[in-house]
Amino acid sequence: MSDTLDLLADPIDLTAALVDVRSVSGEEAEIADLVERSLQLHAPHLEITRSGNAVLARTNLGRERRVVLAGHLDTVPINQNFPSRREGEILHGCGTVDMKGGDAVMLAIAALSQNASHDLTFIFYDCEEIEAERNGLTRIQKDLVEWLQGDLAIVCEPSNGTVEAGCQGTMRIDLRTTGKRAHTARAWMGKNAIHGMGEALRRLEQYEARIVDIDGCTYREGLQAVKITGGVAGNVVPDECVLSVNHRFAPDRSPEQAEEHLRTVFDGYDVTVTDFAAGALPGLNAPAAQELIRAAGGTPVAKLGWTDVARFAALGMPAVNFGPGDPTLAHTQEENVPVQQITGCFDVLKRFLLA
Amino acid sequence: MSDTLDLLADPIDLTAALVDVRSVSGEEAEIADLVERSLQLHAPHLEITRSGNAVLARTNLGRERRVVLAGHLDTVPINQNFPSRREGEILHGCGTVDMKGGDAVMLAIAALSQNASHDLTFIFYDCEEIEAERNGLTRIQKDLVEWLQGDLAIVCEPSNGTVEAGCQGTMRIDLRTTGKRAHTARAWMGKNAIHGMGEALRRLEQYEARIVDIDGCTYREGLQAVKITGGVAGNVVPDECVLSVNHRFAPDRSPEQAEEHLRTVFDGYDVTVTDFAAGALPGLNAPAAQELIRAAGGTPVAKLGWTDVARFAALGMPAVNFGPGDPTLAHTQEENVPVQQITGCFDVLKRFLLA
């Protein structure tokens, strides 16, 4: 591996070079050093700083608006899909989709940003694929929040090269039924907590998820059991059953409203919220967002999964996902990206930011 | 602890002495040696043999009928309930109910059996509280089956001093639902296997268990979920859910008939039988059984739990449970027996066997 990356090379080659540097969550030092050195060499016009294994760079051109581009450098664990492998117009390998294609486009834009039409901030960060408190953005928000602020955030997560706006919220709850233990040979002396969960599963089966339209984006909600456990022994009427449910909700609802909804759906059950993250409204009416949409062409669509756009939305900025790759291939062994999506995203961002 | 037990002492004191010898399953050598030595000393008229940590003893009086009495020497693990503790008319401690009271009555009868009205066989055996293949009766049935044969078997398990006849069968099945994994943010691309178990739980909730009358004994069946597991991760639509169900069935049904019934109840589900044991018909019309019932007075009742009576029934003998102690206290920390139940059982067996 060379000492620096050639940021002026084709972003497809840059993607392959980034994929070929292992960077499983928690082990991003090597790739962060490489990104930092490469920016210092090829983009000396940028102000550059470090935060742990995150690299932050920005222009200071005095433009009216600032656009923040964010991409995580880490990947899920490698799964017999390292290093990268090019087959015709397809680039295979861990991180090709999630999200070194997006990182490569960001680096290529950074190298060309001497006279950008907006001021630009680039955030290359660590530990996105693991628990939220270790996510580099959490640390940056605490230590260097001014680096995150701007008029539009573009998180370059895979979106098949279309603008995916906002994101849905997520909430996890546990339902708990309690009963009374008894020997199964004398079952009428007990009360079966697993049987008591039947009604909750029936409500899940019958649940009709909302489909919500916001700013022309369609959000499709979901309510899914994700885990169930119960049982004491093969001859004991069980006295506890716990059902974990994941709700994905459109960004017109706050977490409080989502919780209220779930308590109505599961009325009569003991409900505990174990985890939640607010969604993000698409915010597509903001001027910078309109410019991006024009540059991208096509129609923006709703982001259904939760992504770090919600962190930027929480800072009061419109935030979108825009990057190469099919998000349904993320975290799979067969992860791969059609290379023309990398070129396509690069061209859109050039039109939007460098014209 | 003395070198032998005084088998001519009050069976209540004999129960306490047995409780005070630790004999958790697999660790019965000490108590088996003690029982063997005590029988050799106090009942020299008996033919005595060993099989591992089981002690077998019998009369050879040439009587028309032979009655087999069986009691296991092992207990579940001690749970802050050792040694025995007498409070007024109650004897507390691990094994007081399950089943050293029954063992004590058997030893006391053995010591007095020089001129018994029936030939008698006494089986003190090991490892009843653990997996069936380690049960001492399994080994004895293989190596010394003639020691188990007779015209009536009395398993001196706790029955509150009433004759409990036959026993119910037991069968365990696993129901399995399969689905298709998907990200919960795009749940409509998957199929939730946990939701698919709702219908099975509904059938369990609505199931009406049979109540079956045989030889004047009422068997109350049961169908109970005993375990449920499913789930991949907090953001994944799960593709498998497994529900384990325990069915207790009256002895008018064979295991094959019970399985057919379960396949009807859970029609449409993938059903696997994981474990079963046939029940035992009460067989109360046999002459020796009638004699016991007369000696005991009262009305025999159905045994609901599965016990080793089924092993004797499988050898073609009528078999009953008859012993001191409340079976619902077995395996509990507060295990205790009213001492007059020990005396009461001893008196019944004296009338039946020694008159």
Average pLDDT, stretch A74-94? 95
Q: HSE (CB half, 13 Å, CA atoms) of A117?
A: 10
Residue-level pLDDT at B261: 98
Q: How wide is the angle at C-alpha B187 spanned by C-alphas B181 and B192, nearest 5°?
A: 55
- Residues with Cβ within 8 Å of A121's Cβ and at least 6 positions away in sequence, in order, are A56, A57, A58, A59, A66, A67, A68, A69, A147, A148, A150
Cα–Cα dist A245/A173, whole Å: 5
Residue B216 touches partner A, C-beta closer than 8 Å:
no
Q: Tell me what ipTM this predicted complex has.
A: 0.78
Residue-level pLDDT at A307: 86
Residue-level pLDDT at B127: 96
Residue-level pLDDT at A254: 95
For B283-334, what is each residue's pLDDT tens digit? 888 999 999 999 999 889 988 878 899 999 989 999 999 999 999 899 888 9
- In A78-137, the residues whose Cβ lies within 8 Å of chain B are none
pTM of the complete model beyond 0.90:
no
Least Cα separation, residue A68 to chain B (angstroms):
25
- In A281-320, the residues whose Cβ lies within 8 Å of chain B are 304-306
Q: Which residues of B are catalytic?
A: 74, 128
Cα–Cα dist B149/A112, whole Å: 95
- In A157-176, the residues whose Cβ lies within 8 Å of chain B are 168, 170, 172
For B223-267, what is each residue's pLDDT tens digit? 999 999 999 888 889 999 999 999 999 999 999 999 999 999 999
Residue-level pLDDT at A2: 62
Beta-carbon separation of A305 and B183 below 8 A: yes
Select from A228, A240, A307, A321 the residue whose CB has the most chain B CBs within 10 Å, as the one to mutate to test that interface: A228
Beta-carbon separation of A225 and B188 below 8 A: no
Q: If we measure between CA atoms, which residue out of A300, A240, A302, A308 comes closest to residue A278?
A: A308
Residue with tokens 């027996």: B337
Select from B246, B275, B304 the residue whose CB has the most chain A CBs within 10 Å, as the one to mutate to test that interface: B246
Select from A201, A207, A242 the residue whose CB has the most chain B CBs within 10 Å, as the one to mutate to test that interface: A201
Beta-carbon separation of B204 and A195 below 8 A: yes
Average pLDDT, stretch B120-130? 96
Average pLDDT, stretch B31-39? 98
For A27-49, what is each residue's pLDDT tens digit? 999 999 999 999 999 999 999 99
Q: If we measure between CA atoms, which residue out of B221, B219, B241, B223 comes closest to residue B231?
A: B241
Q: What pLDDT band is residue A215 in, cutting at 50, 70 and 90? A: confident
Average pLDDT, stretch B91-114? 98
- In A173-202, the residues whose Cβ lies within 8 Å of chain B are 183-189, 192, 194-195, 197-198, 201-202
Average pLDDT, stretch B181-201? 94
Q: Is the pLDDT of residue A200 over 90?
A: yes
Q: Is the pLDDT of residue A124 over 70?
A: yes
Q: Is the pLDDT of residue A14 over 90?
A: yes
Residue A206 touches partner B, C-beta closer than 8 Å:
no
Q: Is the pLDDT of residue A1 over 60?
A: no
Find chain B residues with C-beta within 8 A of A176's C-beta: none
Q: Is the pLDDT of residue A216 over 90?
A: no
State how far Cα B80 lies from the chain centre: 23
Find chain A residues with C-beta within 8 A of B231's C-beta: 225-229, 244
Residue-level pLDDT at B304: 80
